[in-house]
Each structure stands twice: as structure tokens, then as C-alpha cells.
């Protein structure tokens, strides 16, 4: 049975929420788990078969320098969880510091042979199916070679973990023509054209939410800017809309009339509909849950992480990497 290693620290709501999420996920499907965190908060799990508690009260915060913290805090939940993953686990899930997970990926899980860097590939929610953005900010100063590798592994993930046959790949750029962009992007365009992947060309940032693609390849800096710009615009416009709807009795009455239709129309964009994002390129599946996860969202992240583990993506990447080298 698939065994998931769960870092119980790091979520805003704390380890007790994680314990509730594990129970919720177990009601959906069978799996084994090792939950790393404070014993008292995890007592809810004591009666569950196949769920082991690895007790610790130490953890890495978002404020710490990740590489330093990973090396120094031997009993931090993420460090213990990563070692447990190496020993007996099939996938690791954490809502804690992305930097710590990344540093742990490099220094404890280690990279797949031939993979130069790791990439974070969150699903951007859209009306007609989400889009995987790789890299969303795990790696800075990427080379075209790294971006080509990100495209290869994210395409495999899209195909095997999300069930997208022959995933279509776009390259984030400042215009649609092949010669557009900075040197890195121009060279990456050429590499993608020759890659044998289903590369459909450049995608401008204004078309991210509508372009007919499954995977968007971007340098970690630009990818992070795109993702957070979309988030920021959505947040601001939602606040403006809410403010306008609460302005007077008249607008409040209007709000009642449009509420259901609006909620339904916005549903595909709800981040709570997705639990987290894979960190790709390490020797075992690493999965990042949102820091502000509710028990429902974290339970979803558990199910997504199990799918990731069972998809065989990492094994396939490892094989492909060995074929090349």
C-alpha cells in the first residue's frame, strides 16, 4: 500500500488540523501514513491502523534560512520526514516553508541523476481545466537546459498524474513570435522545438488563463511573477466587487440576486479546489500543500500526493534520464 510521509507542522491552522485531514482522506481511500509532529496534537490518529506517529516538537519556520535550518535542526519535522521518506515512504507532503522543502529536496532526497534543478509546478485554476506552471519560483537563474528538463518532467507529470494525454506545452514570453524575448527564452524556444514534446509556441502573460495548453514553461522568476500577479489581481478585484455589493440597501439586494450565479461562475478559479503542487526533479515525490490549508484542502492534498506517488512519474523520469546518460 502507498505510504505517505506527512509533515504536520507548517500549516497556519497547526498540526491538529493535519490530524483531522488525515482522517478525512482515510474515509476517501486506503493508504499508510507516517505523520511527523507533536504527539499531543496528533492523538486523534492513535486509533487508525497503518498510521504511525513520529513525534517531534521542532520545526523550520518560514523566516529561517532554509539550507541552514535543514542542516542544523536535525529533529525538525521536515528533516525527520524527509529521512523517513528515503527509508520507507512513497511520497512526502508538507504545508511548511517551501524553501525548507526545496533545500531538503536537494540535500536529503537528492536529485534524479541528470536533473540539474528542481521545479515547483502548481496548477493554475482556469475555466476549462487547470494549467501546470513550471517553474513557479523554485529555481532562479535557470538556463535553457534546465527549462527543457522542467518541460520534460512536467509534461510527464501532466500525463501520468493528471491524465492529460499528449500534453500541450507553451513557453511564457513577451510576444508570440519565435524571436521574441530575452536570450534565455529565445534559446529555450529553440530547444523546445527540437525536443519532441508537443510544443505549441510562446504564450503571452495576458493569455495564461485562456491559452489551449496543459503546461506553461517559465523561468522561476518570471513564473513566480505571473502566478502572483494573477493572484493579486484576483484578490483586488474580488475585494472591489465585495465593496461595491455592500455599498447600499439597493446593492445588497442586487447581491442576493446574483450570489449563486457568481459563486458558480467563480468555482473553477477557487484555489481551495486544489490541495497543493508537486516539487519535481527529486528522487522521490515531494508535494507542497498551501500554508493556509483548511482540513478539507489538506485532505485533498493528501489524495493528490498519493496520486503523484502512484502515477510512476518519478520512476519514468529516472528511466528517461538513464536512457539519455
Per rule CB under 8 A, is residue 52 in the interface with a copy of itself? no
- Pick the binder of a copy of itself from 28, 74, 113, 228 (CB under 8 A): 228
Residue 253 binds to a copy of itself (criterion: CB under 8 A): yes
Nearer to a copy of itself, 216 or 313 (CB): 216
236 binds a copy of itself (CB under 8 A): yes
Which range touches a copy of itself (CB under 8 A), out of 9-17, 32-40, 112-120, 262-270? 262-270
Query: What does the alpha-carbon distance between residue 169 and residue 176 come to, in Å, rounded to a whole number?
Result: 14
Strands 131-134, 123-124: pairing is antiparallel
Q: Does 247 bind a copy of itself (CB under 8 A)?
A: yes
**Which residues are CB-contacts of 115 (< 8 A; sequence separation ≥ 6)?**
149, 153, 281, 317, 321
Whole-number minimum distance, CB 204 to a copy of itself, in Å? 6
> Could you give the 3-state DSSP secondary structure of residue 123?
strand
- The reply to whether 206 sits near a copy of itself by the rule CB under 8 A is yes
Q: Which residues pair with 287 in a beta bridge?
A: 93, 278
In the complex, minimum distance from the CB of residue 154 to a copy of itself, in angstroms, rounded to a whole number: 18
Q: Does 128 bind a copy of itself (CB under 8 A)?
A: no
Say if strands 276-280 and 119-120 run parallel, antiparallel, or are unpaired. Answer: antiparallel
User: Which of 97, 44, 10, 21 lies closest to 304 in space, CA to CA?
Assistant: 21
Backbone angles phi, psi at 323, to 5 degrees: -65, -40
* Per-residue exposure over 224-240, b if at least 16 CB sit within 10 Å of its own CB, e if not: bbbbeebeeeeeeeeee
| Position 205 contacts a copy of itself (CB under 8 A) | yes
With CB under 8 A, what is the number of residues at the site for a copy of itself? 58
Q: Does the protein bind a copy of itself through residue 257 (CB under 8 A)?
A: yes
- Which range, of 104-112, 224-232, 291-299, 307-315, touches a copy of itself by CB under 8 A? 224-232
Which CB, 30 or 233, lies closer to a copy of itself? 233
Q: Is the distance from CB of 289 to CB of 301 less than 8 angstroms?
A: yes
State the nearest-atom distance from the C-beta of 275 to a copy of itself, in Å.
20
Q: Does 141 bind a copy of itself (CB under 8 A)?
A: yes
How far apart are CB 76 and a copy of itself at their closest, in Å? 20
Q: How far apart are alpha carbons 313 and 115 in whole angstroms? A: 14
CA angle in degrees (0–180, nearest 5) for 4-9-12: 120
Region of residue 220 (phi > 0: left; psi between -120 and 50: alpha; otherwise: beta): alpha
Q: Which is nearer to a copy of itself, 179 or 323 (CB)?
A: 179
At closest approach, how far in Å is the CB of 175 from a copy of itself? 9
Which of 110, 99, 92, 170 lies closest to 138 in space, CA to CA? 99
The answer to whether 25 contacts a copy of itself (rule: CB under 8 A) is no
Question: Which whole-number Å values give the CA distances from 127 to 144, 268, 274, in the listed order?
Answer: 30, 5, 14
Exactly one of 43, 61, 75, 229 binds a copy of itself (CB under 8 A); that residue is: 229
Residues that bind a copy of itself (CB under 8 A): 127, 137, 140-141, 172, 174, 181-183, 185, 204-210, 218-222, 224-238, 240-241, 243-245, 247-248, 250-251, 253-258, 261-262, 264-266, 269
Amino acid at each position: 500500500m502507498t505510504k505517505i510521509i506527512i509533515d504536520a507542522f507548517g500549516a497556519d491552522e497547526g498540526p491538529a488540523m493535519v490530524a483531522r485531514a488525515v482522517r478525512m482522506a482515510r474515509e476517501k481511500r486506503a493508504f499508510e501514513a507516517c505523520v511527523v509532529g507533536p504527539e499531543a496534537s496528533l492523538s486523534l490518529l492513535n486509533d487508525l491502523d497503518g498510521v504511525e506517529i513520529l513525534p517531534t516538537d521542532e520545526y523550520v519556520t518560514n523566516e529561517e534560512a532554509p539550507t541552514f535550518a535543514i542542516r542544523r535542526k536535525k529533529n525538525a519535522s521536515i528533516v525527520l520526514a524527509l529521512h523517513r521518506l528515503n527509508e520507507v515512504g512513497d511520497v512526502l507532503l508538507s504545508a511548511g516553508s517551501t524553501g525548507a522543502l526545496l533545500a531538503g529536496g536537494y540535500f536529503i532526497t537528492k536529485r534524479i541523476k541528470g536533473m540539474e534543478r528542481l521545479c515547483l509546478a502548481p496548477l493554475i485554476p482556469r475555466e476549462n481545466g487547470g494549467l501546470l506552471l513550471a517553474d513557479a519560483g523554485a529555481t532562479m537563474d535557470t538556463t535553457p537546459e534546465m527549462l527543457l528538463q522542467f518541460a520534460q518532467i512536467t509534461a510527464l507529470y501532466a500525463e501520468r498524474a493528471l491524465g492529460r494525454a499528449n500534453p500541450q506545452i507553451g513557453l511564457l514570453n513577451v510576444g508570440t513570435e519565435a524571436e521574441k524575448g530575452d536570450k534565455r527564452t529565445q534559446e529555450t524556444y529553440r530547444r523546445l522545438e527540437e525536443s519532441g514534446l508537443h510544443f505549441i509556441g510562446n504564450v503571452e502573460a495576458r493569455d495564461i488563463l485562456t491559452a489551449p495548453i496543459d503546461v506553461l514553461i517559465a523561468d522561476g522568476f518570471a513564473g513566480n511573477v505571473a502566478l502572483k500577479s494573477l493572484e493579486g489581481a484576483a484578490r483586488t478585484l474580488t475585494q472591489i466587487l465585495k465593496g461595491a455589493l455592500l455599498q447600499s440597501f439597493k446593492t445588497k439586494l442586487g447581491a442576493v440576486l446574483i450570489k449563486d450565479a457568481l459563486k458558480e461562475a467563480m468555482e473553477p478559479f477557487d484555489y481551495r479546489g486544489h490541495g497543493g503542487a508537486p516539487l519535481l526533479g527529486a528522487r522521490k515525490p515531494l508535494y507542497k500543500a498551501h500554508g493556509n490549508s483548511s482540513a478539507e484542502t489538506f485532505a485533498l492534498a493528501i489524495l493528490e500526493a498519493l496520486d503523484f506517488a502512484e502515477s510512476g512519474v518519478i520512476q519514468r523520469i529516472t528511466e528517461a534520464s538513464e536512457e539519455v546518460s
